[in-house]
Amino acid sequence: MQHDKLERMQYLVDLLREASKAYYAQDREIMSNREYDARYEELQALEQETGVIFTDSPTVKVGYEAVEELPKERHESAQLSLDKTKDRVELQAWLQGHQGVLSWKLDGLTIVLTYQQGKLTKAVTRGNGEIGEVVTNNARTFRNIPLSIPYKGQLVLRGEAVITYSDFQRINSQIEDVESRYKNPRNLCSGSVRQLNNEITAGRGVRFYAFSLESGEDMDADNSRMGQLAFLAGQGFQVVEHELVTEETILEAVERFEGKIPTYDVPSDGLVLTYDDIAYGQSLGRTAKFPRHSIAFKWADELRETTLKEVEWSASRTGLINPVAIFEPVELEGTTVSRASVHNISILRGLKLGIGDRITVYKANMIIPQIAENLTSSDTLEIPSVCPVCGSPTQIRQVNEVQSLYCTNEACAAKRIKSFTLFVSRDAMNIEGLSEATLEKLVDRGFIREYVDLFHLDRYKEEILEMEGFGEKSYQKLQDGIDMARKTTLPRVVYALGIANIGVANAKMLCRHFNYDLAQLEGADVETLSAIEGVGEVIATAFVAYMHDQGNLERLHRLTQELEIEVPRIQEGSQTLAGMSFVITGSLAHFASRSDLKELIEQKGGKVTGSVTGKTTCLINNDITSTSSKNKKARELEVPILSEEDFLERYDIRQS
């Protein structure tokens, strides 16, 4: 059967991918070369037999490409949202004697896919329902979308792009700065699908679950939603988990779905009920906002009443002080809950909180504890006028109509601990053996007050050896890590400083622009920095403010005296593109991404910008005859348009 063959194919894809990862990345073998070849040939044969090729199959290689913006496209039919209910009896009555299909309401990003002649030709986000963004190149990197299917007519289907909880946790675990971690899988998925560089999308593990067939010709199961889902599954798509229900069976089915929530790895925020009879559903028409063929069921929040005991104020590296409600423990969705974030001053004031108030709490999406309502509304809670960590004055600041509380003391211990955590992280100074808990102990004991102190911890060897968790071996490992960190690069140092909005990529870009000269970086002004492609006024202002602070400069100079900062060697005569400006557009053949070509140009002294001007040396575009806006602009300004190969040949560039 087709279903069994597709399951076997997915098993082989996963097995071969794991074998390749073990062999190439982990220096170990989980199968012999002969066995690998046999499984590979079996997969190839099944792909030919079924007409299905998955995006993550080792038999295909998806090229990576960066674009400057995502094109917009109007949907052929409006992609409407659904009416909602939280009442199970209302959901049951909605069927009105008809059969329905009950499925998960997945919490990700809705995508519309188009296939022609068995090939994926287009992927468009739902957008505002009328116009979406074209993300075809990104969709080709989703874990489980088939690039080829056996059906050769035009096929349009709708589904949800998601990132599983396990992949979400994996990605967040690789980000050492806690404050920089992603907040939830849905936001991460939305950002991943809409990336301008699909190599980033590929690393996020996005998956696609089909949930409806929009159009397709000459299919036997056209009038049955169940039949259409079975057809899509037969084409190689993973379809959303679903079952056929009636008024008599739907309540039990809802309970079955509900029981799976604690272990279900795919984010969802409810269920969807659709009439199985498609013609009947369509005959019902639509309201101004919703179609009448489907309805969403949102889980009724399990509310518990409790008493607010206190509000804890938690300070961060940026100075933001977050309110956290502490209440009498209650049982919610099978776990004991006693605290919930209140997020900011605006929400806190809206709840009119006071110690001793009776409040109701729930779990948003059955996961995150939240305050639903304040039954007392005493509004007696005092917002701290001083920081709970350092005792310095606080300040309420408003950004986009949201008020938040900040500590005004730049030397606040909480800020220092968080900043030290970033400083020692992998992408910064990469000092092993210094967890946030250990750093907190070192700060509390006065061993470290600024970054340079980390390189003089040997002064406190005896005291550190007496700290819990430390012995001669762990102490020596820490010292070895510190000694290794002394030899570093300027981008690592700049990122480690924790300047607002200066991430790893921005740090590299700034250092490269100023020829890895710290003095030039320190003296740069806002106007100069803002003119750098990709910087902008916000980043420039924050950077200049940091570098023009005398205390920051003194601390930075004390730090650099302890470091051996490597400067990339620029070979004599290698700056062959100095003073030239280039624009790159379209797909590339000789480079994995535009970033790689950009880096090569910059290494040779050239500059890459985003738009064609009279100062542009040439536009690099493999599609010379394109009528794109950049090509038009280049022709108007008489700027040469060169293909990749012509560019490499004209400027005598040899790839390493």
Give the count of beta carbons closer than 10 Å to the beta carbon of residue 435.
12
DSSP state of 66: B
Find tokens 């009724």 and name the residue: 300
Cα gap 487→42, rounded to integer Å: 50
Whether residue 54 contacts residue 120, with contact meaning beta carbons closer than 8 Å, is answered with no
* 256 burial type by CB count under 10 A (0-12 exposed, 13-18 middle, 19+ buried): exposed
Cα gap 447→460, rounded to integer Å: 7
Any idea what the Cα angle at residue 191 is, between residues 10 and 142, rounded to 5°?
15
C-alpha 578, offset from chain centre = 36
C-alpha 651, offset from chain centre = 38
> What are the Cα distances from residue 317, in Å, to 1, 422, 540?
57, 9, 20
Which residues are 335's β-sheet partners? 332
> What are the Cα distances from residue 397, in Å, to 179, 400, 418, 545?
19, 10, 21, 19
Cα gap 307→375, rounded to integer Å: 10
What is the SS3 string spanning 562-583?
A: CCEEECCCCCCCCCCCCCCEEE
Cα gap 220→227, rounded to integer Å: 8
* Strand, helix or coil for residue 8: helix
Which residues are 210's β-sheet partners? 159, 239
| Length of the chain (residues) | 656
- Name which of 568, 468, 467 is nearest 516 in CA terms: 568
DSSP state of 1: -
Task: Say what the alpha-carbon torsion angle 362, 363, 369, 370 is, to the nearest 10 degrees.
Answer: -50
Q: Which phi and psi angles does 157 have, rounded to 5°?
A: -135, 165
DSSP state of 276: S
Which residues are catalytic, by number?
105
Find tokens 């020692």 and name the residue: 424
**Complete DSSP assignment for 612-642:** --TT-SEEE-S-TT---HHHHHHHHTT--EE
> What are the Cα distances from residue 290, in Å, to 143, 161, 249, 295, 505?
31, 22, 25, 9, 43
- Name which of 148, 157, 108, 123 is nearest 6 in CA terms: 148
DSSP state of 288: S
Whether residue 526 contacts residue 541, with contact meaning beta carbons closer than 8 Å, is answered with yes
Which residues are 109's β-sheet partners? 161
Give the count of beta carbons closer than 10 Å to the beta carbon of residue 616.
20
C-alpha 437, offset from chain centre = 27
- Name which of 386, 390, 490 is nearest 449 in CA terms: 390
Q: Which residues of 524-553 are buried (b: 16+ CB within 10 A; e: fewer)?
A: bebeebeebeebeeebbebbbebbeeeebe
